[in-house]
């Protein structure tokens, strides 16, 4: 009878589990709990042991849903269900006689078992917290009991309220009680959890000075140390609290704080072992403590890059918090999930979830507001939305002032400096000073400081220093994944640039992209890493991610000034409507940053007429308006910094005049020919300001010199080609006698005396036209 009842119970559990698993795989957008409710409500009634006639207990349903949540992401396979779980309401043990009373689909069974002295000893010293009914491979049934330390029943209303998380009520209840050690510790913890940090710290320190201190005192001090970026102190107080005979509620929380401190100290594997044991220790009936432990466990999993486990823990914790109505405790989980959505490429969903958290924290004055704004700031920075990022960073500072904390101070300062530099509100030297002033105090801060040190070294051409700094980032514990991912991209570039084969150089970056995600985050540095991305795309390394990143380099602004003006960005023509705006652009490209007075003097030949300031503003506005649509993040294409205007560094600029002015006469034949082909005519024809005429003369002289050098290089092997090169110089300047003579001699050397005579005659006619003489009639 008992064997049949146990078998039917196991089979029913198996059918329920696998039916629910199939539904979960068919409906990935629905929660397991929702699907379970539908299944339980709609199952047929085959007989007296059906689901509807004799429903599965809630504890067994919960255990099944947990297993289904774990297995619904498998590509195939089902659940074997060789066992099933029961809580203490459905499984009891008579310690002396060894009888087990447990639930089955055929009713409650009282089954004799074989208990040894050691098992009876364990049962006498520990509290039963449920168990699993197991069918062995040999066909025998076992009951595996779950034991835990005995929980002392709540001695007071304060204990009950504390266990249920009603800390506001605990503070109100205990505020006027006599200052006994336990009462003072409970009050201090309640004050801390309700945001009254200063008063809580005073109570904690007072209680610490009157031993023996309750374990809650060390718990409160551990949490305070965590808020103040002191992981070593956090760990010390957590362990002292664990040595102070805490009750289960306090012990579980102390374990969570201990694990978090270990993560902050770079010992995440040790923290993982603590959280695994803790989750086994906390019974399912302790919903709030279990939800808290799941939240800390998902943080440990994230530190180990185990994002599958993180997602599972986070969603389970969020479900428990929602069941308990603890919307405040669920905010941090929503932040983590929103952050992960961004790295999965779902930016819009990510921003919506984070904005929702920001709205909730603002409405309740929640201490999590600072972290929410910091995460929003990082993601806006990675999306090149610098002004939005700065607005969030300002809110982080406000939140820290309200909570009297500086835990997020270093990332705020670092992000602010980067945003202002990218907005060109800081020049490179100022940005360097800001980075060098960062003073890390915890492991997370050290990773941030190392990343920016690497960025400085990379920009300054110090490759060895850059590589060492970025390796510190990838080996450290990062609070924000963007730093590790960006560091991997820079490391891949440095390895490739040093000669390492592309597949090997980029292997770690590929693994990070596959594991972390985060292609969106790499676009921020695409201008500096463009050669790496282009090489990967061309070689087929990295798949579509690298191909998309290769297309996100700096906008290419090409400006043609020889023979006429034309500008385009990435091949799209830019219409600059005012002539002075076009002239302003070219002046800045050729002369570099310049002040307002210098520009007015150049563009209007030093004229002192009234209204030139207004004309200058109009020209500047027209130029900015034409280029701004092509700028990433809506940056200013012509920023004003330290009293000078310049073309933004975020533009990759090519200008034919600048290329020719910077050319060298000792270049190769192919280079000289390319430069001469680019000389399509006079510089900015129609512009008659003095600076333009001076540049025009310089360019004509340079073009002539290039043509003469090219002819000289070609003459020994190909005198005919040399003659044509010399004639290019005569087309630039018809009175360039040396070029005419050189072309004539080259034609003679090539064996074409008739062309030499024709060249001589053409020069004579050009000279006559220049002198105003009438050509002699023949």
pLDDT, position 772: 67
Nearest alpha carbon to residue 509 among 489, 526, 525 = 489
pLDDT, position 773: 60
Q: Give yes or no for a contact between 745 and 763, defined as CB atoms under 8 angstroms apart.
A: no
pLDDT, position 235: 93
Q: pLDDT class for 558, splitting at 50, 70, 90?
A: very high
Mean pLDDT value of segment 214-227: 88
Q: pLDDT class for 469, splitting at 50, 70, 90?
A: very high
pLDDT, position 107: 83
CATH 1.10.132.20 applies to domain 556-660: no
Mean pLDDT value of segment 402-410: 78
Measured over the CA atoms of residue 354, residue 355, residue 356 and residue 359, the dihedral's sign is: positive
Spell out the domain ranges in the chain: 2-149, 157-366, 409-540, 556-660, 668-771
> What's domain 668-771's architecture?
Alpha Horseshoe (1.25)
Is the per-residue pLDDT at 583 higher than 90?
yes
Q: pLDDT class for 774, splitting at 50, 70, 90?
A: low
pLDDT, position 48: 44
Is the per-residue pLDDT at 276 higher than 80?
yes
Is the per-residue pLDDT at 263 higher than 80?
yes
Place of tokens 């001076």: 694
Give the global pTM.
Answer: 0.53
Question: Which DSSP letter does residue 683 get?
Answer: B
pLDDT, position 470: 93
Q: Which residue has the higher pLDDT, 712 or 573?
A: 573
Q: What is the mean pLDDT of the chain?
A: 82
pLDDT, position 117: 62
Nearest alpha carbon to residue 67 among 81, 56, 51 = 81
Which residue blocks in 365-385 are alpha helix, DSSP H?
Answer: 369-382
Q: pLDDT class for 45, splitting at 50, 70, 90?
A: very low
> What's domain 157-366's architecture?
Alpha Horseshoe (1.25)
Q: pLDDT class for 711, splitting at 50, 70, 90?
A: confident
Half-sphere exposure of 125 (CA within 13 A, CB side): 6
Rounded Cα distance, 546 and 566, in Å = 32
pLDDT, position 101: 84
pLDDT, position 53: 47
pLDDT, position 50: 43
Backbone angles phi, psi at 263, to 5 degrees: -60, -45
Q: pLDDT class for 536, splitting at 50, 70, 90?
A: confident
Half-sphere exposure of 693 (CA within 13 A, CB side): 5
pLDDT, position 154: 43
Is the per-residue pLDDT at 654 higher than 50?
yes
Is the per-residue pLDDT at 199 higher than 50?
yes
- 131-143 tens-digit pLDDT: 888 888 777 887 8
pLDDT, position 778: 47
- Please tell me if the domain spanning 409-540 has the same topology as the one spanning 556-660: no
Is the per-residue pLDDT at 54 higher than 60?
no
Is the per-residue pLDDT at 97 higher than 70?
no
Q: pLDDT class for 226, splitting at 50, 70, 90?
A: confident
Is the per-residue pLDDT at 565 higher than 80?
yes
Mean pLDDT value of segment 389-417: 86
pLDDT, position 306: 80
Q: Give yes or no for a contact between 364 and 328, defined as CB atoms under 8 angstroms apart.
A: yes
Rounded Cα distance, 720 and 35, in Å = 86
- 741-762 tens-digit pLDDT: 888 888 888 888 888 888 888 8
pLDDT, position 1: 56
DSSP tally for the chain: helices H, then strands E? 37, 12
Give the distance, in angstroms, between the CA of residue 409 and the centroid of all CA atoms in the same chain: 18
Q: pLDDT class for 265, splitting at 50, 70, 90?
A: confident
Q: pLDDT class for 370, splitting at 50, 70, 90?
A: confident
Mean pLDDT value of segment 731-747: 83
Q: How far is CA 15 from CA 31, 78, 347, 622, in A?
A: 19, 10, 40, 72
Is the per-residue pLDDT at 392 higher than 90?
yes
pLDDT, position 17: 85
pLDDT, position 380: 92
Q: How far is CA 546 from CA 145, 268, 631, in A?
A: 53, 31, 22
pLDDT, position 329: 63
pLDDT, position 388: 92
Mean pLDDT value of segment 681-693: 89
- Lowest average pLDDT, out of 2-6, 663-667, 706-710, 739-743, goes to 663-667
- 407-443 tens-digit pLDDT: 788 999 999 999 999 888 888 889 999 999 998 877 7
The top-level CATH class assigned to 409-540 is: mainly alpha
């Amino acid at each position: 009878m008992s064997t049949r009842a146990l078998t039917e119970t196991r089979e029913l559990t198996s059918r329920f589990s696998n039916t629910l698993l199939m539904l979960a795989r068919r409906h990935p957008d629905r929660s397991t709990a929702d699907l379970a409710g539908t299944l339980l409500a709609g199952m047929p009634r085959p007989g007296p042991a059906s689901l509807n006639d004799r429903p599965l207990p809630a504890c067994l349903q919960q255990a099944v849903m947990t297993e289904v949540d774990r297995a619904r992401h498998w590509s195939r396979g089902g659940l074997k269900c060789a066992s099933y779980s029961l809580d203490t309401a459905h499984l009891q043990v008579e310690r002396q006689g060894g009888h087990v009373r447990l639930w089955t689909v055929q009713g409650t069974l009282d089954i004799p078992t074989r208990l040894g002295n050691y098992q009876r000893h364990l049962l006498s010293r520990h509290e039963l917290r449920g168990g699993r009914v197991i069918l062995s491979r040999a066909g025998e049934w076992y009951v595996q009991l779950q034991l835990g330390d005995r929980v002392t029943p709540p001695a007071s209303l304060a204990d009950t309220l504390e266990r249920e998380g009603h800390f506001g009520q605990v503070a109100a209840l205990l505020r006027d009680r006599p200052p006994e050690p336990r009462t003072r510790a409970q009050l201090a913890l309640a004050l801390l959890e309700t945001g009254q940090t200063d008063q809580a710290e005073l109570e904690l320190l007072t209680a610490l000075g009157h031993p023996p201190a309750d374990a809650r005192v060390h718990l409160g001090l551990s949490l305070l140390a965590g808020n103040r970026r002191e992981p070593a102190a956090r760990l010390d107080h957590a362990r002292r609290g664990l040595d102070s005979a805490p009750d289960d509620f306090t012990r579980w929380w102390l374990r969570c704080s201990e694990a978090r401190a270990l993560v902050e100290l770079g010992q995440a594997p040790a923290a993982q072992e603590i959280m695994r044991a803790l989750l086994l220790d906390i019974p399912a009936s302790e919903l709030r403590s279990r939800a808290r432990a799941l939240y800390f466990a998902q943080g440990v999993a994230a530190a180990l890059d185990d994002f599958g486990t993180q997602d599972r823990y986070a969603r389970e914790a969020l479900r428990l918090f929602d069941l308990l109505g603890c919307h405040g405790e669920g905010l941090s989980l929503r932040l983590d999930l929103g952050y992960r959505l961004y790295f999965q490429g779902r930016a819009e969903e990510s921003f919506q979830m984070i904005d929702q958290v920001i709205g909730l924290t603002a409405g309740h004055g929640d201490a999590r507001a600072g972290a929410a704004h910091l995460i929003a700031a990082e993601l806006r920075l990675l999306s090149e939305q610098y002004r939005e990022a700065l607005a969030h960073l300002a809110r982080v500072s406000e939140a820290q002032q309200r909570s009297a904390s500086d835990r997020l101070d270093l990332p705020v300062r670092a992000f602010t400096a980067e945003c202002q530099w990218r907005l060109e509100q800081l020049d490179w030297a100022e940005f360097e000073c800001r980075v060098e002033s960062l003073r890390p105090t915890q492991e997370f801060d050290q990773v941030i400081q190392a990343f920016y040190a690497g960025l400085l070294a990379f920009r300054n051409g110090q490759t060895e220093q850059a590589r060492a700094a970025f390796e510190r980032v990838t080996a450290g514990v990062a609070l924000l994944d963007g730093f590790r991912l960006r560091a991997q991209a820079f490391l891949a570039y440095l390895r490739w640039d040093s000669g390492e084969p592309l597949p090997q150089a980029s292997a770690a970056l590929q693994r990070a992209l596959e594991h972390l995600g985060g292609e969106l985050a790499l676009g921020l540095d695409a201008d500096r890493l463009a050669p790496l991305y282009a090489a990967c795309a061309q070689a087929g390394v990295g798949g579509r991610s690298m191909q998309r990143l290769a297309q996100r380099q700096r906008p290419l602004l090409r400006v043609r000034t020889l023979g006429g003006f034309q500008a385009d960005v990435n091949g799209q023509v830019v219409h600059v409507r005012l002539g002075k705006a076009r002239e302003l652009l070219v002046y800045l490209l050729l002369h570099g940053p310049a002040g307002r007075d210098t520009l007015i003097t150049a563009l209007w030949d030093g004229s002192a007429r009234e209204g030139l300031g207004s004309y200058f503003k109009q020209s500047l506005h027209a130029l900015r308006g034409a280029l701004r649509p092509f700028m990433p993040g809506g940056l200013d294409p012509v920023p004003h910094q330290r009293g000078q205007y310049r073309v933004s560094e975020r533009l990759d600029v090519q200008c034919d005049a600048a290329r020719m002015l910077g050319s060298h006469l000792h270049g190769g034949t192919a280079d000289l020919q390319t430069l001469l082909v680019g000389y399509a005519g006079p510089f900015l024809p129609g512009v008659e300001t003095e600076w333009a005429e001076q540049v025009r003369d310089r360019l004509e002289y340079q073009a002539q010199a290039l043509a003469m050098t090219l002819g000289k290089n070609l003459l020994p092997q190909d005198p005919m080609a040399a003659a044509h090169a010399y004639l290019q110089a005569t087309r630039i300047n018809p009175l360039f006698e040396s070029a005419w003579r050189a072309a004539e001699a080259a034609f003679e050397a090539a064996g074409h005396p008739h062309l030499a005579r024709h060249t001589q005659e053409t020069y004579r006619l050009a000279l006559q036209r220049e002198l105003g003489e009438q050509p002699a009639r023949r």
